[in-house]
């Protein structure tokens, strides 16, 4: 019969990545041309990616990648702010970290300005005299007007850029994927984008973003990391300080996966063999030197003997001290008694009052007791030298100053009666390394499951696929077929293994019988938005006139900061008429109209009726659909 081999345990260590500061890059020679090359900035809520819109091989990837966080101590100067990779370890400064985002919308433009300063300076651009390069910047779907206005004001007024183009990160990634797969430009599909703070469902009809039917789900990577941290805190309450948010993000990126069938996968984890094979043991840092570790019997006996010798020395020293104190007190009392014998009664009674005594008989009683105590103490000191192993504890009034947890022993309690374990008794071995291991089992799939079941974390909202079904129901059957024929997954939180298979299974259960659909995963889910923005900037360079997708400085001054020039990967620009009433005017007196003679006299009161053009002013205010 073949013996069953025990599966090998998978033990992993946390990398605890330490960031190194971004170097200051030199401005490439090919960038110093008459036509400035655009700068592409993917302004993500988790990571900022910046680089040049160039077809050169050495510049075809982001030159800067750093976390979108800033840290500045209270009272520190603005120049002392640490940005992104300037912070080697986020955990000690977690309480100081600030971001420019609320969810995925930029609201803190002071931090955003620091991010732009960091990007331009590290790319080798001096922003003191202005940035002469056009900027391609990503923004949130259905970005509020005020946020875009503040961003345009920051770029045009503070940095004096010549052109700015805004686009949605998920649509840029969709554009990049279709361009490389040969899909015609007027494409139709639906984008499932999941980032750090929220996820989006972005329908695209004939190459244009349908902002009216897009939806947002407030569950993404940060919620998954917090949920995983909470699960492990409950599981390992002894390692709360070691289970940090940075390590949870490392677990998400390297050890989590998405179950195709969640409940079926949980049933598999019930099997001990499956658990031993699939559980990931994460080794925490620990020190191998542990007090009271595994020691031999001889070492324990030697340690015990040392403790006994130390106790004997302490007791002997305290006996000597007490004997000396009693002897000094006895000498003082004898000196008072000598005053009585010498006939100095006044001095004698005065000393009795000082000693709080009433009579000579009481003094004699104290002297007798002290003499007896001093004699007994001397006898004990003489016997303690030859009586090894017996310790007097009756006179010890304070605990030991030094000791290893061994209680003081009574002199009548012999040492030999203490049971001693034999050397051949097998003791359970305590593994310090195993104690500092995190067994990550079902947590590997539970953290990513919250995208489909937000109720696991207490969120009262629909999951990603349920929201997708709601969005598809708003279209005609023909449009639904066109949309599901190109389902595109992008975003850093979509990189879980099994995510594509899970979406296909959910669509199979959602769509009618024998309907066709196609799910595509971005080749680089985290960097696809930057590459798409770069491809778009190369194909649509800013011109002297009104170029599609670009906002010039003149248009910014004429149409306001909220203005948006649409393109295939941008939000929708919807102008809205907002009626502004004029100030109240004083009422005019009524007028009478004369009637011809011979007719009945009729007096008609005419009140002036203002035309809408006089009473109201129609103002075109640009407003994106939200």
Q: What is the pLDDT of residue 253?
A: 95
Helix axes 464-472, 477-484, angle to 10 degrees: 140
Please tell me the least confidently modeled range out of 34-38, 139-143, 446-450: 34-38
d(CA 312, CA 32) in angstroms, rounded, equals 86
Burial class for 363, CB neighbours closer than 10 Å (0-12, 13-18, 19+): buried
> Which of helix, strand or coil describes residue 413?
coil
Instruction: List the alpha helices (DSSP H) in 441-493.
Output: 443-449, 464-472, 477-484
Q: What is the pLDDT of residue 220?
A: 97
Does position 625 have pLDDT exceeding 90, yes or no?
no
Distances (CA, A) of 411 to 354, 381, 496: 38, 14, 69
Q: What value does the mean pLDDT take over residues 476-492?
A: 96
Q: What is the pLDDT of residue 110?
A: 95
Beta bridge partners of 48: 43, 66
Q: Which residue has the higher pLDDT, 377 or 578?
A: 377
Q: What is the pLDDT of residue 491?
A: 97
* Token pair listed for 318: 């305290």
Does position 606 have pLDDT exceeding 70, yes or no?
no
d(CA 625, CA 572) in angstroms, rounded, equals 7
d(CA 509, CA 546) in angstroms, rounded, equals 47
Q: What is the DSSP code string of 150-184?
A: HHHHIIIIIS--SEEEEEEHHHHHHHHHHHHHT--
d(CA 108, CA 466) in angstroms, rounded, equals 32
Does position 494 have pLDDT exceeding 60, yes or no?
yes
User: How far does CA 340 lie from the centroid of its chain?
Assistant: 85
Q: Which residue has the higher pLDDT, 334 or 397?
A: 334
pTM across the whole model = 0.72
CA angle (221, 224, 227) in 5-degree steps:
150
| Cβ 96 vs Cβ 72: under 8 Å | yes
Helix axes 297-341, 360-384, angle to 10 degrees: 150
Q: What is the pLDDT of residue 343?
A: 79
Please tell me the least confidently modeled range out of 275-279, 288-292, 621-625: 621-625
| Cβ 95 vs Cβ 78: under 8 Å | no
Contact residues for 20 (Cβ-Cβ < 8 A; gap 6+): 85, 88
Instruction: List the alpha helices (DSSP H) in 97-156.
Output: 109-122, 145-153
Distances (CA, A) of 345 to 203, 337, 364: 115, 10, 16
Please tell me the least confidently modeled range out of 119-133, 357-371, 545-559: 357-371
pLDDT cut 70: percent of the chain above it: 80
* Token pair listed for 436: 């500092």
Mean of all residue pLDDT scores within the chain: 83
* Token pair listed for 151: 């961003």
Does position 613 have pLDDT exceeding 60, yes or no?
no
Backbone angles phi, psi at 348, to 5 degrees: -65, -50
| Cβ 507 vs Cβ 484: under 8 Å | yes
Q: What value does the mean pLDDT take over residues 193-209?
A: 96
Q: What value does the mean pLDDT take over residues 571-585?
A: 65
Q: What value does the mean pLDDT take over residues 163-170?
A: 96
Closest CA to 220 of 292, 170, 275: 170
Q: Which residue has the higher pLDDT, 149 or 397?
A: 149
- The listed range with the strongest mean pLDDT (204-218, 406-420, 597-611) is 204-218
Q: What is the DSSP code string of 34-86?
A: SSPPPEEEEE-SSEEEEEE----GGGSS-SEEEES-EE--TT--GGG-EEGGG
| pLDDT digits 0-9 by tens, 11-68 | 999 999 899 999 999 887 655 566 889 999 999 999 999 999 988 878 889 999 999 9
Does position 523 have pLDDT exceeding 60, yes or no?
yes
Please tell me the least confidently modeled range out of 243-252, 399-408, 420-429, 444-453: 399-408
Residue appearing with tokens 């994460």: 282
Please tell me the least confidently modeled range out of 11-15, 240-244, 316-320, 527-531: 316-320
Q: What is the pLDDT of residue 584?
A: 62
Q: Which residue has the higher pLDDT, 351 or 11?
A: 11
Please tell me the least confidently modeled range out of 107-121, 240-254, 308-322, 567-581: 567-581
Instruction: Give the confidence band of 188 by pLDDT, cuts at 50, 70, 90.
Output: very high
Q: CB atoms < 10 A from the CB of 160, how many?
A: 13
* Token pair listed for 279: 């559980």
Q: What is the DSSP code string of 300-351?
A: HHHHHHHHHHHHHHHHHHHHHHHHHHHHHHHHHHHHHHHHHHTT-HHHHHHH
Q: How many residues does the chain have?
A: 626
Return the H-helix or E-strand segment holding 396.
none
Q: Return the exposure string of 435-469: e unless at least 16 CB atoms fall within 10 Å of the residue's CB, then b.
A: ebbbebbbbbbbbbbbbbbbebeeeeebbbbebbb
Instruction: Give the confidence band of 588 by pLDDT, cuts at 50, 70, 90.
Output: low
* Token pair listed for 374: 């001093």
Does position 112 have pLDDT exceeding 70, yes or no?
yes
Return the H-helix or E-strand segment holding 105.
strand 105-106
């Amino acid at each position: 019969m073949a013996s069953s081999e025990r599966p090998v345990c998978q033990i992993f260590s946390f990398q605890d990545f330490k960031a190194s500061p971004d170097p200051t890059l030199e401005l490439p020679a090919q960038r110093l041309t008459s036509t400035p090359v655009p700068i592409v900035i993917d302004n993500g809520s988790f990571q900022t990616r910046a680089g040049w819109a160039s077809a050169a091989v050495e510049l075809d990837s982001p030159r800067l990648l750093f976390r979108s966080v800033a840290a500045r101590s209270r009272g520190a100067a603005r120049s002392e702010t640490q940005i992104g990779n300037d912070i080697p370890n986020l955990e000690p400064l977690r309480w100081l970290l600030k971001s420019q985002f609320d969810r995925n919308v930029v609201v803190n433009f002071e931090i955003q300005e620091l991010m732009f300063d960091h990007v331009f300076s590290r790319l080798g651009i001096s922003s003191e005299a202005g940035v002469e390069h056009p900027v391609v910047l990503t923004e949130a779907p259905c970005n509020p007007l005020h946020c875009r206005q503040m961003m345009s004001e920051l770029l045009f007024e503070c940095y004096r850029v010549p052109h700015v183009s805004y686009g949605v990160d998920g649509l840029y990634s969709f554009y990049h994927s279709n361009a490389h797969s040969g899909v015609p430009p007027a494409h139709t599909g639906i984008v499932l984008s999941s980032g750090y703070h929220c996820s989006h469902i972005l329908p695209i009809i004939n190459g244009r973003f349908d902002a009216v039917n897009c939806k947002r789900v407030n569950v993404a990577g940060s919620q998954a990391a917090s949920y995983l941290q909470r699960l492990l805190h409950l599981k390992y309450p002894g390692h709360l300080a070691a289970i940090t948010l940075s390590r949870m993000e490392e677990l998400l990126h390297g050890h989590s996966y998405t179950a195709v069938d969640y409940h079926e996968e949980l049933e598999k984890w019930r099997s001990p063999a499956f658990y031993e094979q699939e559980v990931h043991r994460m080794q925490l840092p620990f020190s191998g030197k542990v007090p009271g570790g595994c020691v031999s019997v001889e070492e324990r006996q030697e340690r015990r003997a040392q403790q006994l010798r130390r106790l004997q020395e302490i007791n002997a020293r305290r006996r000597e001290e007490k004997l000396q104190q009693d002897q000094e007190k006895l000498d003082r009392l004898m000196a008072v008694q000598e005053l009585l014998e010498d006939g100095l009664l006044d001095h004698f009674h005065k000393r009795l009052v000082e000693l709080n005594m009433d009579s000579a008989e009481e003094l004699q009683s104290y002297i007798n007791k002290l003499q007896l105590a001093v004699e007994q103490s001397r006898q004990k000191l003489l016997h303690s030298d030859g009586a090894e192993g017996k310790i007097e504890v009756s006179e010890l009034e304070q605990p030991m100053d030094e000791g290893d947890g061994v209680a003081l022993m009574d002199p009548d309690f012999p040492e030999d009666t203490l049971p001693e374990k034999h050397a051949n008794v097998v003791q359970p071995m305590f593994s310090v390394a195993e104690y500092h291991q995190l067994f990550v089992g079902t947590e590997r799939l539970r953290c990513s499951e919250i995208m489909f079941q937000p109720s696991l974390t207490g969120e009262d909202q629909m999951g990603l696929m349920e929201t997708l079904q709601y969005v598809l129901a708003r279209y005609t059957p023909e449009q639904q077929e066109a949309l599901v024929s190109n389902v595109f997954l992008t975003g850093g939180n979509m990189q879980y293994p099994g995510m594509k298979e899970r979406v296909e299974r959910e669509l199979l259960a959602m769509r009618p019988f024998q309907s066709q659909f196609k799910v595509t995963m971005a080749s680089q889910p985290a960097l696809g938005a930057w590459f798409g923005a770069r491809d778009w900037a190369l194909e649509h360079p800013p011109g002297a006139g009104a170029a599609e997708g670009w906002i010039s400085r003149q248009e910014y001054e004429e149409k306001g900061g909220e203005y948006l020039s649409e393109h295939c990967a941008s939000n929708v620009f919807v102008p809205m008429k907002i009626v502004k009433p004029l100030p109240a005017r004083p009422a005019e007196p009524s007028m009478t109209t004369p009637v011809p003679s011979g007719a009945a006299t009729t007096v008609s009161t005419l009140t002036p009726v203002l035309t809408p053009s006089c009473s109201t002013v129609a103002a075109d205010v640009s407003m994106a659909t939200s």
